[in-house]
Amino acid sequence: MGDDFAAADRLRDRVAAFLGQHDPHGDRIEFLRARFDAGLAWVHHPIGLGGLDVPRHLQPVVDAAFVLAGAPDNQPRRNSIGLGMAAPTLLRHGTPDQHHRFLRPLWTGEEIWCQLFSEPGAGSDLAGVTTRAVRDGDDWLVTGQKVWTSMAHQARWGILLARTDPELPKHRGMTYFVCDLSAPGVQVRPLRQLTGEAEFNEVFLTDVRLPDSLRLGAVGEGWQVARTTLMNERVSIGGAPMAREGGMIGLLTRTWRERADLRTPGRHDEILRLWVRAEAARLTALRLRQQLVAGEPGPEGSAVKLSFAGLAQAISGTEVELLGADGLRHDDWSLRSPTEPDLLGRGATYRYLRARGNSIEGGTSEILRNIIAERVLGLPAEPRVDR
């Protein structure tokens, strides 16, 4: 414990020294680039890659010091896929050249990332992808269709899973790439959602030429690389750090406290039960993030994400019921592609409609229950006729 306190003090001193040399109110991107170069971006990363090679649990010390100084952040909601999924995958499986090319502009938010995994016939069964990558000299030609690609309309890069050997069993014939979304042959089309907006997209790839230097991991080992992404995805969706009464439960409880005219018999107990569930989920996610200090996320992330999906749907449903007719007013049905997700800044109806997708994105709740049953509880696996 004493070592942690001393390490935290040293980090605060390092931030103070950095702020003495860099104006937090000056050019935002230049400030963020300098922060990365100083090792104050991801402190658990190696020196030279945005970190100081110190334990991950010291990150909040650095973040709090920058917040206190009024320093700009890297707009994490806008690049959640890059920060939460692409970065840990790049760090573990990327080459030194890939580390130095991608990690800094990813962290500063200069380059937005998306995830090119799901296909019309391969979502929950991700190993069924049919997008092909064919070797052509030092390049690969990629052809196929991806769907439900969040923020592809903003992205510069995508993490891509493609089939490179259709003769092998499906888990062994895939390779993982970084895809340049500005390359010829890439077409992004918006998908209109239940909310009226287009946060998701479908992406068509037609003979997209990717140099072999954009391959992540060995040829044919894409599934192993993708598992790193998937485990981090489930933590990033359901396990983000949050203060007590943060997120959707905070909006619901504030409405309850401020609107005495909405209080009906029995509703108090319902909201209290949701509050307890939200607090239990928050503490569980906090414990999971602490476990990440010791290594990679495991199947426990599936439980956190599963809990998050059900809770978000229950809270948003109760909020709409509590507001009555006011809860049915949706503020904007026009088709638009947002620059970043904004769940908390919209109305109750938007949250209710958007939460329907929480049990699908990042692994369906049915698949996550299978993962928990097999890998956490040790129950027999379901028969797999595709093997």
pLDDT digits (tens, 9 = 90+) for 26-36: 999 999 999 99
Tokens 């962290």 locate to 107
Confidence (pLDDT) at 299: 67
Supply the CATH classification number for the domain 239-376: 1.20.140.10
For residues 42 and 87, is the Cβ–Cβ distance under 8 A? yes
Question: Is-same-fold flag (2-108; 239-376)?
Answer: no
pLDDT digits (tens, 9 = 90+) for 235-281: 555 556 677 888 899 999 999 999 988 888 889 999 999 999 999 98
Count CB-CB contacts under 10 A for residue 79.
Answer: 25
Homologous superfamily (CATH) for 2-108: Acyl-CoA dehydrogenase/oxidase, N-terminal domain (1.10.540.10)
Which one from 119, 197, 233, 300 is the annotated catalytic residue?
233
Homologous superfamily (CATH) for 113-220: Butyryl-CoA Dehydrogenase, subunit A, domain 2 (2.40.110.10)
**Per-residue DSSP letter, 111:** S
Confidence (pLDDT) at 246: 85
Question: How are beta strands 113-116 and 157-163 bridged, if at all?
Answer: parallel
Give, to the nearest 10 degrees, the angle between helix 267-291 and helix 222-238. 140
Task: For the chain, give every domain's residue range.
Answer: 2-108, 113-220, 239-376
Mean pLDDT, range 164-176, rounded to an integer: 93
Q: Is 245 tagged catalytic?
A: no
pLDDT digits (tens, 9 = 90+) for 143-155: 999 999 999 999 9
pLDDT digits (tens, 9 = 90+) for 1-30: 567 789 999 999 999 999 999 999 999 999
Mean pLDDT, range 306-311, rounded to an integer: 90
pLDDT band, residue 71 (cuts 50/70/90):
very high
SS3 of residue 265 by DSSP: coil
Pick the range with the lowest mean pLDDT from 51-60, 201-210, 215-224. 51-60
Burial of 235 per CB tally in 10 Å (0-12, 13-18, 19+): buried
